[in-house]
Structure 1
Amino acid sequence: MIRKAIRSGLTGLFLVVSSLAMASPEAFDGAIEHAHLLDALNLEGELFHVQGLELDSQRIWVTSVDPNNRKGYIHEFDRRTGKLLRRLELTDGPRYHPGGISISGRSIWVPVAELKPNSSAVLVEVDADSLQIRRKIHVADHLGCVAASGRTLVAGNWDSALLYIFDLSDNARARTIPNPSPTRYQDMKFVDGQLVAGGSLSLWSGAVDWIDWPSMKLKRTLRAGAIGPVRPWGRGGPYTGEGMAIEGRELYVIPEDGPSRLFHFRLDDRGETPPFPYGDRS
């Protein structure tokens, strides 16, 4: 009986893993399509399960969740050396899971949610210079990523099945639309008037999508492979499955839990006629 139960459990696990492996019919075995790796920077400081990434000319900000102690953080690193400068705990009662982040002006927006779907979250505005909290917006759903531009926020819920669009000039009034892509977004940014969003398709594959704003139509997708060993057995996963930031053609990702590395890729225009306008951060 015990052996039968073990065999049955192993069979079930194999089927689950197989289904995850087959989730992306066009699996990509490289790093990121139409991009080449320039360098990788070691981030020298304690990080847990990485969630979001942002950067400016001098600093790098990373969010991570410590599931064992049910705490969430935003960490600040020196962009040149990778050394940890400071961190801020973001835990808000049962909400301890920070997600993908976005900077607009001198504000960093961070969603902090309960670790379950159909739950609750707060959108936290953090001052990029002082790393102090400016305000919180409560939302009756799990939110896992956010893009910010001026008075507009776009946030994805669990697996980014729905995208919330917030108008900060109208008391943070929100509307929702379905995700136009199968990608489960982890991080998204506004870039030259478009949304650029990265996430996973399976344990072994991911994607970066360009979405037209405000029509929210999917314009382009770059496939991504994985860095191993992949979760849940290792600390890696799809290159685009966790933190992602972009500056023009420069794409930055953090696919590994702590100890983590910031990977720097340069995007090209192969396959685009006319050349694809990557643009600048808005």
Structure 2
Amino acid sequence: MSTTRTRGIFAAALTALIAAAIGGTAVAQADSNNAGAADHHASDTAVTDGFNAVDRNTKWQLTEKLKLNFPTYHTEGIAFAGDRIFLSAVQITEPTVKYPSPQGGYDRTPGKGIGHLFVMDKAGNLLKDITLGEGDMYHPGGIDFDGTSVWVPVAQYRPNSSAIVYRVDAASLDVHKQFEVPDHFGGIVMDKQTGHLVGNTWGSRRFAEWDLQGKQLDTWENPNYFVDYQDCQYAANSKMLCAGVTNLPQTPDAGGTASTYELGGMALIDLTSHNVLRDVPFQQWSSAGHVATRNPFKMTADGGELTIRVAPDNGDEGNGTEILTYKATVR
């Protein structure tokens, strides 16, 4: 065998090993609330099956409030990885300002801020504050844990802009800038069946699918206008479970002052057909008066019991940020 051919074979093998290492996170199967579970696929499937039994009459009970005793700013996404809790948040240092008319394709100024990924223990004690973002891209969104890594999109705080997708090793907390995309993406999920990433744009009006190198493989419009999805998770067999909120106008009061009503809800989406398979409202409220699915959201299942963990309030609202736990029994 020639030296040139030997080197070629070695190079090809090395490339395959590197690709396998990078893509390992894509196929890791993990329960987002118990990384040591023996059958992660069964856990994901249990969430899907459980949610398919949820309707407007499902009785949700608030069972726990975990108060976070550090500045959390505006919370965005949450993920559970073994003994660690990950919470994304944006710290606004200069608010965006709407333009009278669009300028350069934008409807507002970029503003300024700092993107945070807080790492906590199960008691809510802060272990590390990871700063993410570059330049005008400082707004983290909904996050996902794939069993090995936490995926975090950090975007400009305005639509039709740009974002960076980060991969954070859940054990070492090493940060990897995976790729950039030319739009605001406010949430991301790892499809464990394909090894691809799926993100949603501003207001979740559009979805996109990429490989791990950032090559866009597909894009589609959101067929549902029930709520804007804020935080999502993988839910087995190329499906994802999302939760969010929409602000609906209410009739002005006697003084002519109009207000809005927060409608919360959850939806199960098929990542192959792109159809919304099931969506239901979720009308539970935080101490600051926000609907519980306003931002961070994750669901787990154990037999016929579903558990939802959310963190709807900002650090400067009500009692500050609390991780609220709701439970329901379904059949």
Flag the structure with larger Rg: 2
Q: What SS does the corresponding residue of 1:238 show, helix, strand or coil? A: coil
Match of 1:238 in 2: 291
Change (3 A) 1:32 1:91: farther
Question: Post-superposition shift, 1:56?
Answer: 2.5
TM superposition score normalised by structure 1: 0.77
Q: Which residue in the other structure is 1:73 paired with?
A: 116
1:257 counterpart residue number: 314
Q: How far 1:83 moved relative to its partner?
A: 0.9
For residue 273 of structure 2, the aligned residue among 215, 224, 241 is 215
Deviation at 1:78, TM superposition (A): 1.0
Q: Distance in 1 between matches of 2:216 and 2:242?
A: 22
Structure 1 residue ranges (4+ consecutive) displaced by more than 6 angstroms after TM superposition:
none
- 1:147 to partner: Cα distance: 0.9
**d(CA) in 1 for partners of 2:143, 2:120:** 15
The verdict on how the C-alpha distance between 1:83 and 1:32 changes in structure 2, with shifts beyond 3 A counting, is: farther
1:163-217 residue CA offsets vs partner (Å, 9 max, x unmatched) = 111222x753332111132121110111122210011122521101111232122
Q: Are the aligned partners of 2:155 and 2:162 in contact in 1 as well (CA < 8 Å)?
A: yes
Shift of 1:57: 3.1
Deviation string for 1:84-134 (max 9, x for gaps)?
111100021110000000011211110100010000001111111122212
Conserved 8 A contact 2:133-2:164: no
- Equivalent position of 1:160 in the other structure: 204
CA contact (8 A) 2:181 2:214 kept: no
User: 1:153 and 1:34, CA in 2 relative to 1: closer, same or farther beyond 3 A?
Assistant: farther
* Matched-pair contact (CA < 8 Å) for 1:33–1:224: no
Q: Letter of the aligned partner of 2:88 in structure 1?
A: T
Instruction: Give the Cα separation in 1 of the matches to 2:157 and 2:114.
Output: 11
Answering whether residue 231 of structure 2 is matched by residue 187 of structure 1, we say yes
Q: In structure 2, what is the Cα distance between the partners aligned to 1:196 and 1:266?
A: 17
Aligned with 1:40 (options 44, 62, 65): 65
1:175 aligns with 2:228: no
- From 71, 85, 89, the equivalent of 1:64 is 89
* Cα distance between partner residues in 1 of 2:164 and 2:144: 14
User: Which residue pairs with 1:105 in the alignment?
Assistant: 147
For 2:255, the equivalent position in structure 1 comes to: none
User: 1:261 & 1:97 partners in 2: Cα distance?
Assistant: 21
The equivalent residue for 2:328 is 267
The residue type paired with residue 215 of structure 1 is: S
Partner SS state of residue 71, structure 2 = coil
**SS class of match (1:70):** strand
SS of 2:314's equivalent in the other structure is coil
CA shift at 1:226, angstroms?
A: 5.6
Q: CA RMSD in A?
A: 2.1
1:66 maps to a residue whose letter is Q
Instruction: Please give the alpha-carbon distance, in whole angstroms, between the structure 2 residues aligned to 1:108 and 1:54.
Output: 8
Where does 1:9-48 land on structure 2 (aligned, <5 Å)? 34-48=59-73
CA contact (8 A) 1:156 1:164 kept: yes
Paired positions, count: 233
Identity rate, percent: 28
Q: Residues 144 and 86 from structure 1, CA distance in 2 versus in 1: closer, same or farther, beyond 3 angstroms? A: same
